[in-house]
Structure 1
Amino acid sequence: MTTVETTPADGADPASIAYLPLLARLQGEFLAGIAEADLAAPVPACGRWKVRNLVEHLARIHHWAAAQARRTTETPLGRGPFDLETLYADCARELLETLTELGPHADASTLVGRGPASFWHRRQVHETLVHLHDLRAAAAGTPALGLADAEPQVWADGVDEIVTMFQPRQVRLGRMEPLRFPVLLLADDVPGARSWVLGFPEPDRAREVAPDVVVSGTSEALALVLWHRLTPEEAGLTVQGDRKDLAAALAERLTP
């Protein structure tokens, strides 16, 4: 076991991030990137995807999320072929207008049951942010830090989403087994050096855990490693403890 003094993070304060203006900016940057992209270029760290698959995926996710926020049945977009700039612009606009009109407190369908529409404010910011990284990684030919611009607190919020929502949901859905080795994540670029214990989403339980391995670095680096976009080495993370335990945790399907 590795001993580190830490205070695992409580959930992110929704008031600390203006999600919808940020979503609008990220969508605008993604749309601008489509016009400059080679649609046949491979997307690093995304299997067999080409840029055209990435663009269509994010457009469909925006369209689907808008329906989830409204608690209505999604209208099928069809199989295409599509003009990808138009498709993305239309779906991005639909999502942003839907979330704006509903407001944060509207009753919505979420990935964890019924909840406020604000769930989708956060979820779609992080969906768009990681795929903006993917789009720019495809243009650069390799993933790297700094491709998608967001404040450290935004990247830290993305880490929090994975630890507190996605990873436990993956366990509940039978997509992965509970983690055998607790992994302490330390974000050193936000006030108070936020921390989480992967595999223990509840802060009270996390405080009682002696982690097998401690991983520290920037919030962006942690988020992109958890999304399997970068390795810990590529992200410049510092690892204390058994790297095999970390590798075992990262080999799991932490996200959908």
Structure 2
Amino acid sequence: MDYAAALLAQTRAFGELFRVGDPELAIPTCPEWNLNQLFRHFGRGNRWSAQIVADQMDGPLDPREVAGGKPPAETTAAIDWLNDGAQVVLDAVAKTGPDTPVWTFLGPRPASWWVRRRLHEATVHRADAALALGGEFTLALELAADGIGELLDLLPAVVARNADALPLADGQSVHLHATDDGLGSAGEWTIGRPTGTDTVRWAHEHGKATVALRGCARDLFLVATRRVPVADTDITVFGDAAVWQKWVEHTAF
């Protein structure tokens, strides 16, 4: 997948939602935020990550220290600022070197790690805006599937943040199965907590689980990222639905 091109495209699509929306519109999936705050958060986040890459930082950056982190007041200029910020990420990675290690939520990773991370920050926040505006949220099959995998790749950081309330009990597991044609094994995710451990692991594989969700990749992406409840989708749940509910409640990132 061309993560760079997808980041630019998803950022542009998010900007167009901002163009037609009321800046004061409440964002139900991001409580206490309005559309303007969501826009600023995402746009500043691109420049924040770009600065981490450009400076080859070994720790997080204070958001207040992000260069150019405040958008212009005028809408078109603000959207230009948003789109430019996505390109700033790509330019920083290219200049630093995609394989150069920099700080991430998971410890040192190649600078190119941030391109995929910012891409799926874009897909999730575009969903936030689209749902708040009452419009249809569509997402290419490959992007939806990759977004689920990227979220699961963040599990070590999620588990560390929720160390006192792990998302799965000892020996429990979750299986997600995308029903779309063409994904093959890339459309199945099995997540489990091996018996006697405090770790959560995942793999692209089919198998029985404590709870299983079966539906299209787009719907699975939205429920996995906590954007919509299962009840608002066509997903079918098999097994212990309470395990899924606990998973959702303890995997905020």
Q: Specify which of 31, 41, 48 is matched with residue 15 of structure 2.
A: 31
The alpha carbon displacement at 1:103 in A equals 4.5
Distance 1:99 1:155 in 2: 24
Deviations 1:32-58 (A, max 9, x none): 222211101111221121101100110
CA shift in 2, pair 1:166/1:109, >3 Å: same
Do 1:24 and 1:96's aligned partners in 2 also have CA atoms closer than 8 Å? Answer: no
SS in 1 for 2:190: strand
- Corresponding residue of 1:159: 148
Do 1:99 and 1:117's aligned partners in 2 also have CA atoms closer than 8 Å? Answer: yes
Distance 1:97 1:148 in 2: 28
Distance 1:79 1:124 in 2: 15
Do 2:211 and 2:238's aligned partners in 1 also have CA atoms closer than 8 Å? Answer: yes
| Letter in structure 1 aligned against 2:104 | T
Do 2:106 and 2:154's aligned partners in 1 also have CA atoms closer than 8 Å? Answer: no
Deviations 1:83-126 (A, max 9, x none): 24354244333223223434532322222111112211111111
Distance 1:79 1:155 in 2: 28
Q: Specify which of 185, 191, 203 is matched with residue 176 of structure 2.
A: 185
Distance 1:81 1:31 in 2: 12
Q: Specify which of 151, 154, 173 is matched with residue 161 of structure 2.
A: 173
Number of aligned residue pairs: 231
Bigger shift: residues 95-104 or 181-190: 95-104
- Corresponding residue of 1:105: 99
- Matches of residues 113-128 of structure 1 in structure 2 within 5 Å? 113-128=107-122
- Matches of residues 124-143 of structure 1 in structure 2 within 5 Å? 124-140=118-134
CA shift in 2, pair 1:37/1:201, >3 Å: same
Do 1:186 and 1:215's aligned partners in 2 also have CA atoms closer than 8 Å? Answer: yes
After the TM superposition, list the runs of 4 or more consecutive aligned residues in structure 1 that deviate by more than 6 angstroms. none
Unaligned 5+ segments in structure 2 are 193-199
Deviations 1:153-209 (A, max 9, x none): 21111111222x2233211233542411311111121421521123442439x77x7
State the TM-score, normalized to the length of structure 2. 0.80
Task: Give yes or no for the alignment of 1:54 onto 2:28.
Answer: no
State the TM-score, normalized to the length of structure 1. 0.79
Higher RCO, Cα 8 Å, sep 6+: 1
Do 2:173 and 2:211's aligned partners in 1 also have CA atoms closer than 8 Å? Answer: yes
- Matches of residues 87-98 of structure 1 in structure 2 within 5 Å? 87-98=81-92
Do 1:65 and 1:120's aligned partners in 2 also have CA atoms closer than 8 Å? Answer: yes
CA shift in 2, pair 1:116/1:173, >3 Å: same
Do 1:104 and 1:118's aligned partners in 2 also have CA atoms closer than 8 Å? Answer: yes
Task: Give yes or no for the alignment of 1:45 onto 2:29.
Answer: yes
| Letter in structure 1 aligned against 2:106 | V
Unaligned 5+ segments in structure 1 are 1-16
Do 2:99 and 2:112's aligned partners in 1 also have CA atoms closer than 8 Å? Answer: yes
CA shift in 2, pair 1:148/1:131, >3 Å: farther
- Corresponding residue of 2:252: 255
Distance 1:139 1:113 in 2: 36
Task: Give yes or no for the alignment of 1:198 onto 2:196.
Answer: no
